[in-house]
Amino acid sequence: MPSSADTVELPSTRSPVRGAFDVIVGGSGSAGVCAALAAARQGAKTAIVEWLPNIGGIAATGLPILGNTYWQKGKLLSRGIPYELLMDLKAEDAYEGDPATQSYFCHDVDKYRLLAVRKLEEAGVEILTFTSVTGVLQEQGRITHLLVQQKEGAGAYAATVVIDCTGDADIAAYAGESFLPNEIDGHTQPPSLLFFVGGIDDTRVPGWAVIQKLWDDLRADEKWINPRGGEAISPPFGFPGKPGVLGFNVTRSLNVDATRTTELVRMEHEQRCQADEFFYRFLKPHVAGYENAYYSHAAILSGIRESRRVRGDYVMTREPIDNSEEFADAVAWGCYPVDRHSGVGGTTQLEGAAAQKEQSYYSIPFRVMVPARTPNLLMSGRCVSADELAFSAIRVMGITMQMGQAVGIGAAIAARDGLDVKRIPVDEVRDVLRSVDAFVERSD
Ligand SMILES: Cc1cc2nc3c(=O)[nH]c(=O)nc-3n(C[C@H](O)[C@H](O)[C@H](O)COP(=O)(O)OP(=O)(O)OC[C@H]3O[C@@H](n4cnc5c(N)ncnc54)[C@H](O)[C@@H]3O)c2cc1C
């Protein structure tokens, strides 16, 4: 009989300290990679910690980078490291087309992973993949060590400043930060799993509107388990140098809290069943051009759109987005609209921000990356302090990369000068961004 106790006492152990860094970045998605590169390039001894075997996070699942997070009417918004990564991919034929005029562009994820590792190594960043952050040690609120689980067992890394880019704000949770509520319907946005199909006869495939209608018409008979319908099943996208191969972002799990393991387990299986359904029960038997197509593979894990958003002293809302606000502490820029997928079903709230309608853009302040409590913790990417609607606009890759770049510079300054994160001189961060051509001036 297994024990019926609700709690157990863990044996007290001593863990080896496996390294010490000025800046440790937790998570290697679009935000984490840019944060680590930026911190290291400012001279900070930097490490990046990732529980998966590979660098990349959602940016390496096959999703396209949205063009309008990079450019607004020919004006480059995602400057500095995000642009550098893109140009390096282009040099390797790892994406095609003209991103300045396209609404999205797909990159080769394997090339992206290799590029990211090469750049991190060149910058001197210690890469700690296969490493889960499992907790923090704190003294008077400051994080002294990140606790990790590795193949060798439990261990610790000492850090002067920590940046939480885990997407789920795991580090902020361990440090006792609080999180912003989901007030719209009580749920975060739903996750989706990308999958990839090859062998399509492009010449015979009907327009996507026809395919969407067919999917809806068949729903009553086929009883799809996938709740997405109509316009919510978005068109597939192609890849550089891979004719006849398309990526599909059409699945959706509802009512998922991505910070609970049992829900992740349910979600992952549900997503794979929906991908299987979409290809084997819908595309292949019903859609012209797919008769000889094959299911190539699915992404390594489902993409989590939203989980914990850390509460900072400042919480960004959608008004500054609609009003094309230029914050005094602006460190990132975007023109992507509110794009909130409902976590309980129903339609996606996709609303062109006023900024977009005016062919303008908005800024994102450094403050969204500063948590309320912990004096040496910053956060970026999906973890930022923004309400649900503001978050749904600034969560896209061009913007998360810019935020990562800015927070990395801020962390390096804080580590160098022994500053609490609320005292980081944001003017200096902006000057560094200017010096590497990563700053958008209104007069540009
Ligand atoms: C289905 C879907 C479709 C999207 N479509 C687009 C699109 O078309 N274009 C676009 O630009 N954006 C799109 N987005 C948004 C965008 O991709 C993400 O918001 C963005 O990439 C998030 O980046 P991030 O670095 O904050 O987080 P992530 O990419 O999630 O990275 C977090 C990293 O932290 C790691 N991690 C987590 N916990 C731990 C831990 N405890 N220890 C160690 N490591 C940990 C994870 O493994 C991961 O690598 C989409 C998102 C989803 C989910």
Distance CA 28, CA 49 (A): 7
Q: Both tokens of residue 176?
A: 């006792």
Task: State the Cα angle at 130 between 35 and 114, rounded to 5°.
Answer: 60
Of all protein residues, whose CA lies closest to atom 35 belonging to ligand 1?
27
Q: How many CA atoms lie within 13 A of 233 on its CB side?
A: 24
pLDDT score at 357: 57
Ligand 1 atom nearest to CA at 336: 11
Distance CA 37, CA 30 (A): 11
Enumerate residues 6+ apart whose C-beta is below 8 A from 192.
Answer: 249, 250, 251, 252, 253, 271, 302, 303, 305
Distance CA 146, CA 25 (A): 10
Q: Could you tell me which residues are beta bridge partners of residue 155?
A: 148
Pocket of ligand 1 (CB under 6 A): 26-32, 49-52, 57-59, 63-66, 69, 132-133, 165-168, 170, 192, 249, 303-305, 381-382, 395-397, 400
pLDDT score at 105: 79
pLDDT score at 352: 64
pLDDT score at 266: 97
pLDDT score at 244: 87
Cα→Cα distances 102→68, 70, 86, 380, 440, Å: 8, 10, 14, 26, 20
pLDDT score at 76: 87
Of all protein residues, whose CA lies closest to atom 51 belonging to ligand 1?
305
* Chain centroid offset of residue 290 CA: 31
- In degrees and rounded to multiples of 5, residue 379 shows phi and psi of -145, 155
Ligand 1 atom nearest to CA at 31: 25
Residue with tokens 């948590």: 371
Of all protein residues, whose CA lies closest to atom 15 belonging to ligand 1?
396
Q: Could you tell me which residues are beta bridge partners of residue 246?
A: 197, 238
Substitution candidate for ligand 1 out of 25, 37, 58 with most atoms within 8 A of CB: 58
pLDDT score at 147: 98
Q: Which amino acid is at 21?
A: F
Q: How many CA atoms lie within 13 A of 253 on its CB side?
A: 25
Distance CA 119, CA 42 (A): 14
* Packing angle of the helix pair 30-41, 397-417 (nearest 10 deg): 40
Mean pLDDT per block of 10 residues along the chain (444 residues) reads 92 93 98 98 98 97 81 85 93 81 82 97 98 98 98 97 98 98 94 97 95 95 92 86 91 96 97 98 98 96 96 96 92 91 78 60 96 98 97 95 98 98 98 96 72
pTM above 0.95, yes or no: yes
Pick from 371, 369, 365, 366: nearest CA to 382: 369
Ligand 1 atom nearest to CA at 56: 49
Question: What is the distance in A from the centroid of ligand 1 to the CA of 400?
Answer: 9
